[in-house]
Structure 1
Amino acid sequence: MAFLIFLISALRYNVGWDYETYFEWAFNGLNSYMEMSMEPLSKGMLDIALYSGEPQTFFVMSSAVVVGLFSYSYIRCSPLPTLSILGFFCLPLLFLVSLAIVRQSMAAAVVFFALTVLEKRHISALVLLLLAGLLHYSAWIALLFWPFLRWFERPVSTTWYVAAMAIGPMISTILVGIIEPYLLLYSGHLEKDGTSGLQLILLYYLFAFLILYLRHCCATLPTRQLNFFMLGVVMLGTGGVINEVVGRLAYYFLPFAALLLPACIAKIKPHIYVRLLTLSTLGILLIMQIYIAGQNPEKDPYRPYQLYPGWISL
């Protein structure tokens, strides 16, 4: 399943909002502004594609990083790896968004690998978090939580989770007003757009409430994974009500949803019906995302799959 997802991502053609931009960079090189501002590792991958004479090489490499690291992390850390990988493929803001925001998705895959597979190897994980920022600078947000990793091993009451989810959107405007004068370079990203992504915020809030309910009733959830996921939900609610770009900081922690999914349904009976319902729900979520994206009048970012013509000619 992981290899199939990799092929879908690596061999796509003009799929994703930023595909044309990255293809142009990999074909003709970066302009002077991007040459100075782009992260070193991402720039190096584009240079490799440029020198190879095959722009699609960049998407093959980026897909190997994203799909490879996420899939390996799920295989190592999930009690039901196949379900976790399917969850990664179907859940909103996970796989499909990686087709659009390529550099940040690579950084998110490295962060997730560091926080899961390397969770007991603190120095190695720290090195990877630093490297993730060289793929996309926003990944260094994870470093803010590094000194408090031990806290993520501690159980948190449902009351505190719900309070954080409720307060986050309420204080986001105040936070922006405080930090915006000190982040002039990013002031454009802090412009408020209250209608951006509210449906996805509500969806993840509902998912979070469902997980908390199952934890209370019957499920035994890994504390560290639950805390990281809830951190992502709170960050999505806090930043997403400003605009979609700020809300993207949550993308580093939302992939824990696909790890929690098997733990949530493991003890719910009858098993066969619960798993069929889960698979059906994941399929519906995937179809809904593709359908909604197809209604965009500017561009359908997930339009029917097309193979890159250069590969056909080979």
Structure 2
Amino acid sequence: MTKHHARRPRLGFLGTGWIGRHRMEAIHRSGEAEITAIADRSPENARQAAKIAPEAILVDSLDDLLSMKKLDGIVIATPSACHSSQAIQALDAGFSVFCQKPLARTAEETGQVIDAARKADRLLSVDFSYRYTDGFQKINSLAKSGGLGDIYAADLVFHNAYGPDKPWFYDAALSGGGCLMDLGIHLIDLALWVLDFPRLKAVSSSIYAGGTRLNGPGMVEDYAVASLGLENGSIVRIACSWNLPAGQDAVIESTFFGTKGGARFSNINGSFYDFTAERFTGTSRETLSVPPEDWGGRASVAWVQQLRNGGGFSPATENLLFTAAALDAAYGR
């Protein structure tokens, strides 16, 4: 049965590197949950996390968290290869889960996690944080209300002039892929979310490593382009990269074109955090959103609020499989 939490949910955190601590800070500031326990193999990470929530218990492993029956949910921010198995363990034990992206390395693994959440009737969410920016919230609302008409095309890019600094990102067995898995997953999720998750009709892609087409097992890409033809007639084109000579720290942009106008979400001066959103009508434009805003932790807080209001399985969780299937197709899996 679904749990209803008049009290604040009690959470355990598995993995408290930079991203895990950032989400912990956001949840702590919101006051929506109790940070009850912290598990990290790095004593330094655990110590830093304990500064945010000094009342939390420090434990050694996921098994330790799962033995704490007073917990209601677990926040997972570990290397990608661990996500699906750890999420399934937590769900099977009766805990709701908030997981960093990717939820899993393949669509098959993603489906297994979703099945576990459905069977346990527990809330499962993934940290697709860009959905929660003010700009994308407004573009999504505009699209859903028909303000753009029938959206027939979308172009999305995410070029990061720096590659990841952790070795596991460059091991396909651990990461599931390179920049397409790391950055492209956000682009695909955003496009499908705005378009109401239509089914895929055809996918084509070109994937590169070090300037040449990827052709070896175990390698990960640092540049990828993909075209997604959707059953509703829309075409989505994405491009993403690590270490591209972009002339700035990052290029992040998503543009949607419809029969009644267009909309664009884009970063400012190479920023990873500051975005503007605009609506286009013919040759004119209207500003929808400007920085600054503190959006990075909003997805985690939204999960906590859902958990507090019930915490059962949400049918929207099924949509995670559409994004995973698109990634599989782009990789030729």
Structure with the higher helix share, 1 or 2: 1
TM-score under structure 1 normalisation? 0.27
TM-score under structure 2 normalisation? 0.26
Structure with the higher strand share, 1 or 2: 2
